Structure 1
Amino acid sequence: MNTKNLEIHFKDKSASEILSEYLRPFCTQSTILLCIGTDKCIGDCLGPLVGTLLEKSSFPLPIYGTLNSPVHAINLKEKIKEIKKRHPFSFVIAIDACLSSSENIGTIEIRHSPIFPGKGIGKTLPPVGDLSIIGIVDSVRKDKSLSLHSIRLSFVMDMAEVIVKSLLDATDRKSD
């Protein structure tokens, strides 16, 4: 099983195939997805958008965090407790939008570490996930201002579709 982190731009023609191959060993029956974010801010809707698209595709693994039922800063601690109670021995793949430097915008990263939700905007929330899928949606400005509200929905949707296709392929091929 690969334990090296992976980075690929969502526009790379083979992005979903590369991500799928990488994710396949982690998508087992004990895996759950925790899709973090809110639909109230386009720059932070990547996680719930992925969760919703997977749910509509009859994804075979449990999903927490959709557009209709988001997991965000306000309910994160409560959802973590619920997940630990309902799935005590699960492997959690956490999915979230992330801020980085401007040259990394559009990159999807898989990390062998938890996500620290809200870190990019100065919030301190508990780390979540055994494996993280992050989509870099924007950068922090030099004056520390955020532009999460000026990100195009089409950009976030395109990135979400690559992540969704990779997860669907990773689980479909698992049953072959």
Structure 2
Amino acid sequence: MCHSHYLDKKSVELLSEALVRHYAKRPHFSEIAILCIGTNRHSWDSLGPSVGSRLLERLQGHPRIRVYGTLDKPIHALNIHKQLDAIARAHPNAYTIAVDACIGQFFKIGTLQFVEEPLVPGLGLQKELPPVGHVHFKGVVNNHGALNPKVMEHGSLTFVHEMAAVLSRVLVKASGDIVPMLAAAPDAEGSPSRTLSSTS
């Protein structure tokens, strides 16, 4: 696991490089799918959808990168099974990156974590949900001892948005480095699709 506090100026470089290194070990996927998990109903659990909305602004229309889970169309406990099935059918050869908020020890609040294994969403709240992604990013948004619903509901939205801004920069940078390594994928006419920069 690689981790860094979102206020650390080296966070974007450190975390993006960790993701690129992981992909470089298995460069046989033809596209990238980023699945941002969470809800728009609670500030503390809006990290994933906030990241998804920011990424969609930067990457919408990119031929090799797909973003799912935004503030307008979140992926959460009630629809995750249906969403994962649809995404798996639409993108069977995608390198899948999951993003979610999590709770942790008090001194870890604000930490962004890159984990080289699938995300198990809802684990901290004892929900049984399917694993997501080949790898995942988590942002520690609150203390695991503060599970009182009223405390969680009134978490700082500004704090979550600042974390989302950093994490979206990590993913844009890493995606731009990974795209040239993706395996060729045929377009609608059967010829390899062209590779574009993640900032196009």
**Superposition TM-score, scaled by structure 1 size:** 0.89
Kindly tell me the number of residue pairs found equivalent between the two proteins.
Answer: 171
Q: Which amino acid aligns with 2:148?
A: S
Name which of 4, 11, 34 aligns with 2:7. Answer: 11
Following the alignment from structure 2 to structure 1, what is the Cα–Cα distance between the partners of residues 43 and 152? Answer: 7
Following the alignment from structure 1 to structure 2, what is the Cα–Cα distance between the partners of residues 29 and 22? Answer: 20
* Residue in structure 1 matched with residue 94 of structure 2 by the alignment: 90
CA deviations 1:8-49 (Å, max 9, x no partner) are 111111111111222234396422000000110000000010
1:101 Cα offset (Å): 1.0
1:173 Cα offset (Å): 4.1
Structure 1 116/173 Cα, relative in aligned 2: closer, same or farther at 3 Å?
closer
Across the aligned residues of Structure 1 and Structure 2, the Cα RMSD in angstroms comes to: 1.9
* Residue in structure 1 matched with residue 191 of structure 2 by the alignment: none
Q: Which amino acid aligns with 1:166?
A: V
CA deviations 1:76-114 (Å, max 9, x no partner) are 000110011111122210000001111111110010111
> Is 22-31 or 64-73 further displaced after alignment?
22-31
* Residue in structure 2 matched with residue 80 of structure 1 by the alignment: 84
Gaps of 5+ in 1: none
**Superposition TM-score, scaled by structure 2 size:** 0.79
Q: Which has the larger radius of gyration?
A: 2
**Pair 1:51 & 2:55 matched:** no
Q: Which amino acid aligns with 2:127?
A: K
Name which of 143, 147, 155 aligns with 1:139. Answer: 143
